[in-house]
Amino acid sequence: MKVHEYQAKEIFKKYGIPTPKEKMCRNIDEVVIAASKEIGIPCVIKAQVMVGGRGKAGGIKVAKNEKEVKDYAEKILGMEIKGIPVKKVLVSEAISIVSEAYLGIINDRTTKKTVMMACKEGGVEIEVIAKQKPEAIYKVYADPLVGFMPHKSREIGLFLYNEPKRAFECASITEKLYNLFIELDSSLAEINPLVVDKSGKLIALDAKINFDDNGLYRHPDIESMRDRESEDENELLAREQNLSYVKLSGNIGCVVNGAGLAMATMDLVKHFGGEPANFLDIGGSSSPGKVKNALEILLKDKNVKVIFFNIFGGITRCDDVANGILEAKKCLNIKQPIVARLTGTNEDKAMEILKEAGLIFTQTMDQGAKKAIELLN
């Protein structure tokens, strides 16, 4: 799960990581009041959308007077960045920047350890640096059982800053970043850039925190930060029903059990010249009701012209899936043809249940994908 910059900064504040004076606003009036009464002018107006490249898209502007505050607020609150409409902005104190650095933390899949990453170049996407000059990224690993020891935080500070006072200030920020990462089941926590201002103080100018979906059950306060408006409605609905759905741009709707097989099904449709409309995993022990819910979500996508069921029964019983299809046919007005490949546990029962349902059956997933594509024409 991702949160907005302003939400990440609230968490930073709780942990004592210094941030600029800021206020989140939802309309132009709020921006004008915040800028003139609380933050001060000049100020920075920053679009709150959960995608990178806000600056390049014109979503971050420095307003030098009241007219500019109003103009930029109007412009940014009306714009779309990578297709996402901007509904909130952050009005932030203008900081005169002396230097910029990067500080970030993740769980590294390869070493199976938590790793703190520091780079003397801030404000640039870390992935770009990782590709172009990986040697510029300094990595310090936490001990999984002891934690991030104080001398490691100092090591980070001394790598980024020559002056001891600043280095130790940075060490303190590093320690806090580690603590919030671990305590909140974060999957990425990033300060980019970490700046030194004119007075020599360190400030987290931007903030990014992603959370491990698997850890959310123990952090209801984080779950409540979820911005439902910025997520796809059907993906949210699917998650609430324990289904895993991702919308794509094609027209062949896929219903599959298991994430790997679901990806393989999408790839196969594409391989034979079609375009998958979605990723949809109905999970392991699927009940008829779950299948019906899945079809309901799938059919909200008006691009879907054919439905392709690909079920490899193990724990999933094919007769459960068949009953779900029957139930869905009764309740939902399904006009699209359904191609079904149901194999494994209780496949014979499934065939019996569906023999008069008007489905097109295939033996293999290759045949199923080809048939679905054929039906488009």
Partner 1 sequence: MSILINNNTRLLVQGITGRDGSFHTRQMLDYGTNVVAGVTPGKGGMEVEGVPVFNSLSEAVKKTEANTSVIFVPARFSSSAIYEAADAGIKLIVCISEGLPTIELVKITAYLKNKDCRLVGPNSPGLVSAGESKVGILPGHIFKKGKVGVISRSGTLTYEIVDHITRVGLGQSTCIGIGGDPIIGTKFIDCLELFADDKDTEAVVLVGEIGGRDEQDTAEYVKKYFKKPVFGFIVGKTAPPEKRMGHAGAVISGTSGTAAEKIKVFKECGIKVGDTPAEVAQLVKEML
Catalytic positions, written as ranges: 102, 190
List residues bridging with 147 in a β-sheet.
143
Q: Which is nearer to partner 1, 107 or 172 (CB)?
A: 107
CB of 167 to partner 1, least distance (A): 27
Query: Computed from CA positions of residues 32, 36, 42, 43, in that sequence, does the dihedral angle turn out positive or negative?
Result: negative
The owner of tokens 């600056």 is 55
Does 15 participate in binding partner 1 (rule CB under 8 A)?
no
**Separation of alpha carbons 237 and 244, rounded Å:** 10
Nearest distance, CB of residue 17 and partner 1, angstroms:
20
Q: Name which of 94 and 351 has its Cβ closer to partner 1.
A: 351
According to the 3-state scheme, what is the secondary structure of 136-167? Answer: HEEEEECECCCECCHHHHHHHHHHHCCCHHHH
Q: Between 90 and 119, how does the x/- string for binding to partner 1 read (CB under 8 A)?
A: -----------------x-xx-xxx-----
Query: What are the backbone dihedrals phi and psi of residue 17, each rounded to the nearest 5 degrees, phi first?
Result: -85, 125
The CA distances from residue 215 to 14, 50, 121, 229, in Å, are 20, 20, 31, 22
Q: How do strand 306-313 and strand 252-256 relate by DSSP bridges?
A: parallel
Cβ-proximal residues to 330 (8 Å cutoff; 6+ apart), any chain: none
Out of 268, 307, 322, 326, the only residue in the binding site for partner 1 (CB under 8 A) is: 268
Q: Please tell me whether residue 127 binds partner 1 under the rule CB under 8 A.
A: yes
Binding window for partner 1 (CB under 8 A); candidates: 31-39, 196-204, 298-306, 340-348 = 340-348
Residues across the chain: 377
How many beta carbons lie within 10 A of that of residue 28, not counting itself? 19
C-alpha to C-alpha distances, 83 to 4, 5, 79, nearest whole angstrom: 16, 18, 9
Which one of 180-188, 201-209, 220-228, 352-360 is the stretch in contact with partner 1 (CB under 8 A)? Answer: 180-188
Phi/psi at 64 (5° precision) = -100, -15
Among 30, 185, 301, 327, indicate the residue that binds partner 1 (CB under 8 A). 185
Q: Return the residue of 313, 339, 350, 373 that touches partner 1, per CB under 8 A.
A: 313
Among 67, 96, 135, 145, binds partner 1 (CB under 8 A): 145
Should residue 233 be labelled a site residue for partner 1 when binding is judged by CB under 8 A? no
Q: Interaction with partner 1 in 237-256: which residues (CB under 8 A)?
A: 244, 246, 248, 256
Residues 172-201 as b or e (16 or more Cβ within 10 Å = b): bbbbbbbebbbebbbbbbbbbbbbbbeeee
Question: Residue from 157, 276, 288, 368 that binds partner 1 (CB under 8 A)?
Answer: 276
Stretch of residues binding partner 1 (CB under 8 A), selected from 158-166, 169-177, 179-187, 289-297: 179-187
Query: Of the two residues 35 and 106, which places its CB atom closer to partner 1 in the complex?
Result: 106
Q: Which is nearer to partner 1, 289 or 344 (CB)?
A: 344
Would you call 138 exposed, middle or buried from its count of C-beta atoms within 10 A (0-12, 13-18, 19+)? middle
Provide, rounded to whole angstroms, the least separation between the CB of residue 201 and partner 1: 31
DSSP character at residue 36? I
Is residue 220 near partner 1 by the rule CB under 8 A? no
Q: Is 134 in the site for partner 1 (CB under 8 A)?
A: no
Residues contacting partner 1: total by CB under 8 A:
54
Interface residue list for partner 1 (CB under 8 A): 107, 109-110, 112-114, 125, 127, 143-145, 182, 185, 187, 212-215, 217-218, 244, 246, 248, 256-264, 266-271, 276, 279, 281, 284-285, 312-316, 343-345, 364-366
